[in-house]
């Protein structure tokens, strides 16, 4: 039987998978695991276990039972009756997992290490210059294409004006 001892909202709780709890209302549920048991082994943290994760889900928010408070002073007719309902969050413990516990061992294949061949410095500089020259050629060709298009539009405007 898997169970964990967690710290939630300043309280220590023993929880099981699938268990439903009602705790004080919180905007975010933060669970810290103090101890974990998988049925045979017991792991205790110092102070927390970092490799054990407890996944929770929020079921809803509700209010608890009404608590009535009565105060009175004798012989002075002073009586006060007040009530309070504590806001609660209902949560469910979905999973309790220890990392590395459910994983199966896979066989690893030996990795071949390839050595790089030495390259002469002349070849490297030639490749670098060729890339730069190609970029310059493409930029100049784009500019000349744009200039040609603007010249054509000017010519067409002049022809229309003569007509």
Give pLDDT tens digits for 13-66: 999 999 999 999 988 999 999 999 988 899 999 899 999 999 999 999 999 999
Alpha carbon dihedral 126, 129, 134, 136, in 10-degree steps, equals -160
Sequence ranges of the domains in the chain? 3-60+90-98, 120-163
DSSP per-residue letters across 54-118: EEEEEEEEEEEEEEEEEEEETTTTEEEEEEEEEEEEEEEEEEEEETTTSPPP-PPPPPPPPPPPP
The C-alpha atoms of residue 153 and residue 146 are separated, in whole angstroms, by: 11
| Whole-prediction pTM | 0.55
pLDDT at residue number 39: 86
Q: What share of the chain is helix, strand, coil (3-state, %, to 5)?
A: 25, 40, 30
Give pLDDT tens digits for 104-134: 445 556 666 667 666 666 555 555 556 666 7
Q: Which residue has the higher pLDDT, 82 or 148?
A: 82
């Amino acid at each position: 039987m898997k169970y964990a001892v967690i710290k939630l909202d300043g309280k220590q709780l023993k929880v099981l998978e699938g268990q439903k709890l009602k705790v004080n209302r919180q905007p975010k549920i933060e669970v810290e695991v103090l101890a974990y048991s998988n049925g045979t082994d017991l792991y205790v943290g110092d102070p927390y276990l970092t490799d054990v994760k407890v996944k929770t889900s929020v079921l809803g928010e509700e209010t608890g039972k009404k608590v009535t408070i009565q105060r009175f002073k004798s012989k002075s007719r002073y009586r006060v009756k007040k009530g309070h309902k504590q806001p609660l969050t209902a949560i469910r413990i979905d999973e309790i997992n220890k990392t590395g516990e459910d994983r199966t061992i896979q066989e690893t294949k030996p990795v071949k290490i390839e050595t790089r061949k030495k390259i002469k410095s002349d070849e490297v500089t030639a490749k670098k210059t060729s890339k730069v020259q190609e970029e310059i050629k493409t930029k100049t060709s784009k500019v000349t294409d744009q200039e040609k298009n603007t010249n054509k539009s000017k010519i067409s405007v002049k022809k229309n004006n003569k007509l």
